[in-house]
Amino acid sequence: MGIADWPRSERPRERLLKHGATALSDAELLAVLLGSGTRGKDAVALGRELLQAGGNLSALLSAAEPPRLRGLGQAKHARLAAGFELARRALGEELDRGAPLRDPVDSAAYLKARLRDLPHEVFACLYLDNRHRVLGFEELFRGTIDGASVHPREVVRACMRHNAAAVIFAHNHPSGVAEPSAADRTITLQLREALQMIDVRVLDHLVVGSGLPVSMAARGLI
């Protein structure tokens, strides 16, 4: 039995229109995005399958693209990809509205959405003014994050180009383990020393994995 055969009071779209989006479960919200189910599976069941394939909602939204499930055609895949990208851009807008960043939590969600689940390591930087408002975001290096691949000279140039007064570094661990490595700690100290020469403060270095990003500043490593 498809959703069209359900009582109107139980259909996700009708419930959303009557009670608001907050009244719906994650699977029901995904069902509204999908529009319909597949053969032998209604949209809510397909939404549950998506959540199971992604691991959880956070992982699903931060993935590079929605899981490729049997029966999930190009149109449904495109709707999901568009919805997920809008969610990521909304996180970015929160940082672009001019409110100062006050602690690692303010930037962690955005950086997690940008970097988590990438198949390769990416070293990125949030550039901030002297009131810790975001000036920009940039991916600076790709590959293994160590002293050979992250070049302090290029980071200094990028900070000067953005006229930054402070920065927050971030990089991902494709393994999913967000524990800072010895190489992470070494390059962070090297970058802090290089940026001190141009009066740019390193506020944090976030390591993004499968769970919550790890703040090196909170660990006392900066």
| Beta-bridge partners for 126 | 137, 168
Look-up of token digits 């992250």: 150
Cα(85)–Cα(91) distance, integer angstroms: 10
Is 191's pLDDT higher than 90?
Answer: yes
In this prediction, residue 58 carries a pLDDT of 65
Enter the pTM of the model.
0.62
Is 218's pLDDT higher than 60?
Answer: yes
Average pLDDT value over all residues in the chain: 84
Query: Max CA-CA distance within the chain?
Result: 68
Q: By the 8 A CB rule, do 204 and 104 touch?
A: yes
Is 213's pLDDT higher than 70?
Answer: yes
Annotate 179-203 with DSSP letters as a single string.
PPPHHHHHHHHHHHHHHHTTT-EEE
In this prediction, residue 148 carries a pLDDT of 44
Annotate 32-100 with DSSP letters as a single string.
HHH-S-BTTB-HHHHHHHHHHHHSSHHHHHHSSS----TT--HHHHHHHHHHHHHHHHHHHHHHHT-PP
Backbone region of residue 3 per phi and psi (left: phi > 0; alpha: psi in -120 to 50; beta: other values):
alpha
> 128-180 pLDDT, tens per residue?
999 888 888 898 988 765 544 889 999 999 999 999 999 999 999 888 888 89
> 17-63 pLDDT, tens per residue?
999 988 999 999 999 999 888 888 899 998 999 888 877 776 676 66
In this prediction, residue 91 carries a pLDDT of 65
Burial class (CB in 10 A: 0-12, 13-18, 19+), 152: middle
